[in-house]
Amino acid sequence: METLRYFLFDVCGVKAGWKMENVLDEEIKVIKETVGPDEHVICALSGGVDSTVAATLVHKAIGDRLHCIFVDNGLLRYKERERVMETFERDLHLPVTCVDATNDFLSKLKGVEDPEMKRKIIGKEFISIFDAFAHELEKTLGTKPSFLVQGTLYPDVIESCPPPGSGSTHSHTIKSHHNVGGLPKDMKLKLIEPLKLLFKDEVRLMGKILNVPEGFLKRHPFPGPGLAVRVIGDVTVGSYLDNLRLVDEIFIQSIKDAGLYDVIWQAFAVFLPVRTVGVQGDQRTHGHAVALRAVTSEDGMTADWYPFEAKFLAEVSQKICNSVRAVNRVSYDITSKPPSTIEWE
């Protein structure tokens, strides 16, 4: 896989022994050559490192012909919309339109339990929203944007489809990343994926060169389909999403308070659609179970579970059960990648 990546770098004009500054310059050159002088571009911002660095890169190449959109799909983390929009406006100075499409996404996900189907539904709905956004821009600009920027990384490409020339005999799709595995074939916008040959640490390095705030660059990865892949089963049942947001916030804040956030690659909670018997005071409870996941990794291709101290896990479990009344059981995932993936779905 790494040999193929370096071959592709060479084909793209970045020679062996490349430096990130060279990659950056080459990507800016490619974007300028790809996007005509009168053409406009939409960038799908998720609030994560990848899409933010991609947007900053494209903005550097074409300036105000970039139009960013942040979609609240109802699958975001606790207060994510407010926090992300503040960062875009205050620190990055990117022009961003926020669209609340919660009802659109959740209505289409109702009753869907299969994770691959979830990813594809979400990918298709995102594109529908981007097309509508492009149509609205056309009224203002007099021309419809032709391109869509996404922060797809090299691991996303590898896990979503067999690499070029593999013949797909020994390479199978691990999961459909909605950037590359869930897009409709009749999509009207042409894709620009300036980070698709980079790993996460390389994207962070590029972001540093582009002066993206360090605090933003250190954010843990968040999946494109959002909490849809962290609620096992139908995401629209009851208060599953709301309960998961609270559990996840408690877990992440505890990690930050312990000074462990920067040494962990990714941490999150998973909501399990099963009820378990518990005790609260002298009363029997029938609540939900959640799983906590934290891993260390270099590039996301492989990962090891993080060995928290027992005292930390006990305190987090107690906080969760005391604060989220619907939850009465907390588990910690001690499976590495492989055999599992980092996300549960």
Check the annotation: does 299 bind a ligand.
Answer: no
Q: How confident is the model at residue 251 (pLDDT cuts 50, 70, 90)?
A: very high
Check the annotation: does 47 bind a ligand.
Answer: yes
Task: Taking residues 312-335, report their average pLDDT.
Answer: 96
Contact 241, 226 (CB under 8 A): no
**Per-residue pLDDT tens for 13-28?**
555 557 899 999 999 9
pLDDT for 263 beyond 90:
yes
**Per-residue pLDDT tens for 31-60?**
999 999 999 999 989 888 999 999 999 999
Q: How confident is the model at residue 180 (pLDDT cuts 50, 70, 90)?
A: very low
Check the annotation: does 51 bind a ligand.
Answer: yes
Express as a percent the part of the chain with pLDDT over 70: 86
Determine the Cα–Cα distance for residues 49 and 55; give it in Å rounded to an integer: 10
Determine the Cα–Cα distance for residues 320 and 63; give it in Å rounded to an integer: 45
Q: What is the pLDDT of residue 87?
A: 83
Task: Taking residues 249-266, report their average pLDDT.
Answer: 97
Q: Where are the domains of the chain?
A: 2-217, 230-332
pLDDT for 83 beyond 80:
yes
Check the annotation: does 181 bind a ligand.
Answer: no
Q: Please state which CATH number belongs to domain 230-332.
A: 3.30.300.10
Check the annotation: does 52 bind a ligand.
Answer: yes
Q: How confident is the model at residue 127 (pLDDT cuts 50, 70, 90)?
A: confident
Task: Taking residues 166-191, report their average pLDDT.
Answer: 56
pLDDT for 178 beyond 50:
no
In sign, the C-alpha dihedral spanning 236, 222, 296, 315 is: negative
CATH superfamily of 2-217: HUPs (3.40.50.620)
Task: Taking residues 276-287, report their average pLDDT.
Answer: 80
Q: What is the pLDDT of residue 104?
A: 95
Higher pLDDT, 43 or 177: 43
What is the residue-averaged pLDDT of the chain? 87
Check the annotation: does 13 bind a ligand.
Answer: no
pLDDT for 159 beyond 80:
no
**Per-residue pLDDT tens for 199-237?**
989 999 999 999 998 888 999 989 889 999 999 999 999
| Window from 80-89, 146-155, 185-194 with minimum mean pLDDT | 185-194
| Window from 171-180, 183-192, 213-222 with minimum mean pLDDT | 171-180
